[in-house]
Structure 1
Amino acid sequence: MTLRATGVDLYQLTSLVTHHAAGRSGDRVVMTFFSRRLPRSTATDEPVRAFLLWCGLERCLDHLEHARFGDEELERLQGHPMLGPALKAHPDLVERLRSWRFAGAVRAPREGTPLVAGAAIRGDGQRLEVDGVRPSAYGPYLEIETDLLTAKLIETPLLSWINHQTMVASKAVLVVEAARALGPGRSVLEFGTRRTHPEAAVEAARAAYLAGAAATSNVEAHVRYGIPVQGTMDHFAIQAWEQPGVPRHETEESFFRAFHRTFPDADVLLVDTYDTFGEQTGIRAAVRATGGVGPAGIRIDSSISVETVRRARALLDELGARHTRIYVSGGMDEHAIRDLGDAPVDGYGIGERIVTSPDAPVGVGAVAKLSEVRGQPTMKLSRGSGKATLPGRLQVWRRPEGDLVGRADEEHEGVPLLEPVWCWNRGRLPGPDVHAARAHASASIAALTPEQREPREATVAVSDALADLVERCVRG
């Protein structure tokens, strides 16, 4: 597998030429990827997430392992009106890009770890502020030590993976938790493929599965990652069975019968194409088509309400189809699940409201900033803006009372979250697949306190040593 390395912002390359011309492109740097705060509603500016469910590590490492510049891409770049002349003036840089491979060290939390970001709080409980500089504190997604050239080439694509997959996973876990709160046996199925870009759909399916969705409708996600794939049928299939002069209830039942013969143990029939509760259509046709025993399940894709679901359950039971499960889809999210409450739903098909995260649709605000240059800690000050960063190499200790962020060379009580995933001399280290990440996410979320699972304006404690380093960097 080879991935193009050209998925970067132009300013990464223009500034790279400047550094290279000054002999600085080989400087050793440390770059930290993080979010400054938890996502907020685009409508009300209120917090809408309790944590960020870290997702995307595997794809980030894939990019580091396989990204390359090909001859065609380099030729195109040399023809760019702004960048081209600068590259032609530095043919050694072009050759360096041609042979470029990632080399460095990467530390990260395990994929599926809930992360928190917010105002940095000192040990005395006060907001960390030094001469008007007020940094956030955060659990990093990635901390990468490499050369300056490489850091410029990887920042943009890694942020793309982090922002998209963590956004979807952080939304999906809300949906899954809402279903689980109503009792065991209620599954969430990811149905969002048609509502996003084809490649994004595969990664969204992966993110939703990591967050606890039982399955996806996306076949490529099954092929690529081994994620369980499930599906029912579509209105297209039922309408395509229509014949001139034949009543629709007959063609609907005929298609149900044919589908049941093909998939006798997995026949979830879509019953709302014509009339869910009609005397000849919908649920009644589904039960007749299966010889009176009822299909494995029915799906209702419109007019979802407590009354609709209860009426469907009552009719199935009346017709003798007590084992038939009820799945609902169409405009579903965690709020719709709660609105349905104890209505007898067995599964929820969630599409666009997982993959687009409409209440917080702009990623998770992930950014990447330098935290060390040529062995010296550095930070972005941004006086008065609230965008100050933390300097140096970090570690996060997970504790029952909340995370503590400190310097990597410290020791504290708690579970350290960042661990090596790529080493200078060994390359990429073997890591867990999406199924193991899913199990880790479930266990990690279950270990959070009720307060830590509620959307809030988070604060994060920092160690005294890190606070001292901030002060030295600000006043340095």
Structure 2
Amino acid sequence: MLTAFVRDGTVEHPAVFEVFARRLPEGRRFGVVAGLGRLRELLADFRFTAEEVAWLRARDVVDDATARWLAGFRFTGDVDAYPEGELYFPGSPVLTVRGTLGECVMLETLVLSVLNHDSAVAGAAARMVLAAGDRPLVEMGSRRTHEDAAVAAARAAYLAGFASTSNLAAGLRYGVPTVGTAAHAFTLAHATERDAFASQVAVQGKDTTLLVDTYDVAEGIRTAVEVAGPGLGAVRIDSGDLAETASAARALLDELGARETRIIATSDLDEFVITALADAPIDGYGVGTRLVTGSGHPTAGMVYKLVAVGSSPGGPLRPVAKKSHDKVSVGGAKTAWRRAVDGVLAAEWYRVDGREEPDARPVQVPVVRGGAVVHAPTLEEVRATCRAALAGLPPGARTVAAGPAYLTAGLEGEPS
């Protein structure tokens, strides 16, 4: 595509691309925008090295003119987007890229790979956060996904409301709070469970979390309290009927005088299991596999489509749109608007004429101008944005029960 644009001269024509999802994963009521913070960093460093250009040319992927174009590539356009942590719905123009046709085309895979992955994790994480209520969630999925995706997933889960992660790289890179417990291997490596607990407490102190289900949960709890005392921080249960086991564990801990010792549950949790455990005496959850793998976060399904293009460098833009069956798009650069009623999100729509909506708020914010980042909220600010967005949903849209998308973004003046 790029080589053709370079040869026919359209590479420098103005263009507008938009990211949106035609639909949400089945049964989901909303999506969560995530990855924008990572994307802006990647965009600033998006270059082609001499080695990369040489490789492309040697394999005849590009011609000489295109190789020269790539060697000097810098994104110099503009990006507007829904703030990270904000909700999105079918049709929401989540991100808009303006620039030359060539530079905008080059961003497609980068933009979609980041936004689709992180938004999928954040959407799943938000549902788990809503299901957990005031019980904290720990992201523990690093061993179930790609090593780089694990760090991104930890960040996405945290911005959606998880309390912490077991991934230390996410702590180093993004400042996500980190926590962890010992694995079963730690217990098995010692001659006795008592030896293992004593070793852990000696290093971490009595406020640590002891894994008590390697052999027998009741015996593990008794040993844990004998070693750490009634001030033991927490016990972790990773198997069996979690509701039944947690109830028995709470009763035994109370009997042993460890009334303040918390119970942490892990083991293939998701929003449905967490909802089912709402009445169990569990103080926190560790979630891994079903948060970071496709079974837990079905694809966000975002696409990157050309919506306007010029016929000459610096010339006026004309709207363009797909008309193919089931994949229709709406031409023209869009401005998205939302209206709330009594603090509850009630409608979202977009316009293609640029007109202001006096009784609504614009959703997109400027992110990049002339290739330079102009919007860089902290991760804590993003987390607050998500928290407020979720709070603005009506109760029916905050449950984990399957249902249609709460809203669908409609064309100008036709709020859903």
The alignment's TM-score, normalised by the length of structure 2, stands at: 0.92
1:404 aligns with 2:377: no
Q: Identify the residue that residue 147 of structure 1 maps to in structure 2.
A: 100
Shift of 1:377: 3.4
The alignment status of 1:157 with 2:110, answered yes or no, reads yes
Deviation at 1:302, TM superposition (A): 0.6
Does the CA contact (< 8 Å) of 2:348 and 2:409 recur in 1?
yes
Q: Find 1:414's aligned residue among 336, 356, 360.
A: 360
Q: Is the CA contact 1:407–1:465 (under 8 Å) kept in the aligned structure 2?
A: no
The residue number in structure 2 matching 1:450 is 395
Matched, 1:380 2:321: yes
Question: How far does the alpha carbon of each residue in 1:337-360 deviate from its partner, in whole angstroms, 9 at most, with x for none?
Answer: 121221110001000111114155
In the alignment, which residue of structure 2 is the partner of 1:124?
A: none
Equivalent position amino acid for 1:288 in 2: E
The CA deviation string for residues 67-111 of structure 1, in whole angstroms up to 9 with x for no partner, is 11111111211222x52xx51xxx232122112111101111110
Aligned to 2:140: 191
Pick the aligned partner of 2:126 from 158, 166, 173. Answer: 173
For the residues of structure 2 that align with 1:464 and 1:440, how far apart are their CA atoms? 26
The change in CA–CA distance for 1:408 and 1:432 in structure 2 (over 3 A counts) is farther
Equivalent residue, structure 2, for 1:58: 37
Which is further off, 449-458 or 269-278?
449-458
For 1:206, the equivalent position in structure 2 comes to 155
Q: Which residue pairs with 2:194 in the alignment?
A: 253
Superposed CA RMSD in Å reads: 1.7
Aligned 1:231-250 pairs, distance under 5 A: 231-242=180-191
Equivalent pair of 1:328/1:348 in contact (CA under 8 Å): yes
Q: Does 1:389 align with 2:329?
A: yes
1:213-362 pair list within 5 angstroms: 213-242=162-191, 251-278=192-219, 282-290=220-228, 292-358=229-295, 360-361=297-298
Q: For residue 377 of structure 1, give the secondary structure of its aligned residue in structure 2.
A: strand
CA distance in 2, matches of 1:158, 1:147: 16
Report the Cα offset of residue 265 of structure 1: 4.9
Q: Per-residue deviation at 1:217? A: 0.4
Q: Provide the secondary structure at the position in 2 that maps to 1:152.
A: helix
Q: Which runs of 5+ in 1 are unaligned?
A: 1-14, 41-47, 118-137, 243-250, 467-476
Aligned position for 1:428 = 373
**In the aligned structure 2, how far is the partner of 1:65 from the partner of 1:302?**
45
> 1:99 maps to what in 2?
72
- Could you give the per-residue CA deviations for residues 96-147 of structure 1, whole angstroms, max 9, x where no partner exists? 2112111101111110000111xxxxxxxxxxxxxxxxxxxx2222101011
Inter-partner Cα distance in structure 1 for 2:380 and 2:246: 32
SS in 1 for 2:179: coil
- Decide whether aligned partners of structure 1 residues 25 and 305 sit closer, same or farther in structure 2, where only a CA change above 3 A counts: same
What is the aligned partner in structure 2 of residue 371 from structure 1? 307
State the alpha-carbon separation in 2 of the partners of residues 359 and 240 from structure 1. 32
Which structure has the greater CA radius of gyration? 1
Q: Work out which of the residue numbers 28, 31, 54 in structure 1 matches 2:17.
A: 31
1:113 to 86, 102, 111: 86
Cα offsets for 1:384-421 (capped at 9, x unmatched): x1211121111111112211211261111211111111
Partner of 1:245: none
Contact 1:268 1:296 in 2 (8 A): yes
Structure 1 residues 408 and 452, CA gap change in structure 2 (3 angstroms): farther
CA–CA separation in structure 1 for the residues paired with 2:276 and 2:232 = 27
Equivalent residues of 2:242, 2:265 under 8 A apart: no
Unaligned runs of 5+ in 2: 311-315, 341-345
Deviation at 1:294, TM superposition (A): 4.4
Confirm whether residue 460 of structure 1 aligns to residue 374 of structure 2.
no
Q: In structure 2, what residue type is equivalent to 1:449?
A: P
TM (norm. structure 1) is 0.81
2:58 aligned partner? 79
Find the aligned partners of 1:324 and 1:266 in 2 and give their Cα distance. 9
- Identical positions, percent: 38
Say whether the 8 Å CA contact 2:38–2:114 is kept in structure 1: yes
